[in-house]
Amino acid sequence: MRAVVQRVTRASVTVDGECIGRIGCGLVVLLGVKDGDSEEDVAYIAEKIAGLRVFADAERRMNLSPLEAGAAVLIISQFTLYGDARKGRRPSYSRAARPDEAQRLYERCAALIAERGLTVATGKFGAMMGVSLEGDGPVTILLDSERIF
């Protein structure tokens, strides 16, 4: 499981022109699910996201987690995080999980983050979405449950 995490001052996601998710200060998470990912992968990523100390404390040091900072999380499913473009010009998505399993694990990840006390908004799995965000910092963190980065 992979995640691209961006700290934002605000973000929203729309489907067919309708806003379906919106947050203020928080994290936008683009989440990719790989074939073979398990509950352990979900737990690892959810814990990392909920515990990321990327928000400023009183001394302006990135020392606070989203919960400590009163931040929210907007999670967007993005199978293209497993696109492999090393050969040719058209990425292969063969490592991405099948839609039914990817949706289950994506929803489980959102639920685990919410269980930690964070406000969570989501996109619509499988839909074409417009994602709008205002980056803060900018701060962007890459996470991978296989710990390759």
Q: Residues with catalytic annotation?
A: 78-80
In 3D space, the residue among 116, 135, 124 whose CA is nearest the CA of residue 4 turns out to be 135
**For residue 96, what is the DSSP state?**
B
3 state SS of 47:
helix
Q: Count CA atoms closer than 13 A to 28's CA, side-chain side.
A: 24
Pair of tokens at residue 142: 């890459």
- Angle 39-51/99-115 helices, nearest 10 degrees? 40
